[in-house]
Amino acid sequence: MTGRNDTQEACNKVEEGYNFLGKKWVGIIIHTLSKEPKRFSEILGAIPDLSKRMLNERMKELEDYGIVIRNVITDRPVRTQYSLTRKGNELGVTLRVFEKWAEKWM
């Protein structure tokens, strides 16, 4: 009986992951942060058609999932940068495989 419960739990986690990644802008935000940390305005400028409100919402969700970390730099002037966590970097590697597939087949 344990095998069925383990399978159901795995399916639930995969479904949750797909639902999260399926939200508009999530994948491209992760892609944008995959090379280096960026300030909010840099992320916003890198993604055409993304509104401030939507970026703010997605960044909060990415922080809640532990994919992005918000770093406050206390130098003058005070700045905030966003970067991928270890969890976010692993997801970024996975998304790069998908990006290669999309470039080839889409």
Cα(50)–Cα(45) distance, integer angstroms: 9
SS3 83: strand
| Amino acid in the structure at residue 100 | K
Identify the pLDDT of residue 10.
84
User: Which stretches of 1-106 are assigned E, i.e. beta strand?
Assistant: 38-39, 68-73, 79-84
pLDDT, tens digit (0-9, with 9 covering 90-100), for 10-67: 899 999 999 999 999 999 999 999 999 999 999 999 999 999 999 999 999 999 999 9
Instruction: Give the pTM.
Output: 0.87
DSSP-assigned beta bridge partners for residue 66: none
Confidence of residue 4 (pLDDT cuts 50, 70, 90): confident
